[in-house]
Amino acid sequence: MNQEHLDIAISAARAGAAELLSRWESRTVTEKAPKDLVTDADLASQKAIRKILMDAFEGYAFVGEEEGENDPPATVRNGDLDAPPCWVVDPLDGTVNYVHRLQSFAVSIGLYHAGKMRLGVILDPVTKELFTAIDGQGAHLNGMPIHTSDCESLSDALVACSFPAGVKSDSPEVTRFVKVLERCRSLRRLGSCALNMCYVAAGRLDGYWATNVAAWDSAAGTVIAREAGAHLTAYDGTDLDDWLPKFCVTATKPMQDTMVGLLADH
């Protein structure tokens, strides 16, 4: 992945963000499933992003949250070396926040190739914060390098998590939440997987876990967090599957060991 890929992805993210902001006060909301919302803004954002990416890189694969493009080609999923690069897009990560006019939502664009997420662009349309990373080249916020915090103890940590829509009181996720809540300094649910991963990368959060998000939620964030020095594994400590992300990401190895120990028990 090179600067051209990054520049085009940034242009696409800005086009998607413009669609979101233009509809923020007059969006049309429907339910894909109980408590799982979609708006006309999601669809317009993805359409704008898809056109820019696919016009620039003909022959690449495309995965997006909306309009039935949810699964990568088998060759991409299997990491075949001759498979085309695949854009992985969430046109609006944090839809519930967006619908309620809370400011924590983002456009997320990742690029997967040869068995690994290689590029990430995440744009917060409200604050204009642009998080970017290319595999092996570090992570940046508005062009400036970023790095994780140096927090090693969960008791000193600010942590975030994600819950699925319609979570039940007897869910293992609630048990995990309580166990981490008892041990950390404070625990947040901010509503955007993409921004949570960026905030770990930038040292604002010390840890984050999610066992219910989709590939498009985390694709760009995995590259940004990894390139900022974060420790990233599946929530049980095994290698992360980019297409089935159930993960824990933390600032330091001691934090990762503690978090995985708590999460893997449930």
What pLDDT does residue 196 have?
A: 98
Q: Are strands 186-188 and 158-161 parallel, antiparallel or unpaired?
A: parallel
- Strand pairing category for 144-145 and 139-141: antiparallel
Q: What is the pLDDT, as a whole number, of residue 27?
A: 66
Q: How far is CA 172 from the centre of its chain?
A: 22
Low-confidence ranges of the chain (pLDDT < 50): none
CA dihedral 233, 130, 49, 223 (to 10 degrees): -20
Instruction: Please give the single-letter amino acid code of residue 41.
Output: A
Q: Are strands 130-134 and 116-123 parallel, antiparallel or unpaired?
A: antiparallel
Q: So what's the pLDDT on residue 30?
A: 64
- The pLDDT assigned to 75 comes to 87
What confidence score (pLDDT) does residue 76 get? 87
In the sheet where 158-161 sits, what is the strand order? 186-188, 158-161, 207-210, 247-250, 231-234
pLDDT for position 243: 92
Q: Which CATH architecture has domain 154-263?
A: 3-Layer(aba) Sandwich (3.40)
What is the model's pLDDT at position 19? Answer: 94
Task: Say what the pLDDT of residue 73 is.
Answer: 82
Q: Where are the domains of the chain?
A: 3-145, 154-263
CATH architecture of 3-145: 2-Layer Sandwich (3.30)
**Full-model pTM:** 0.94
Q: What is the pLDDT of residues 147-183, one digit of tens each?
A: 999 999 999 999 999 987 777 888 888 889 899 999 9
Q: Amino acid letter at 188?
A: R
- The position carrying tokens 């669809």 is 43
Question: Which tokens hold the place of 44?
Answer: 């317009």
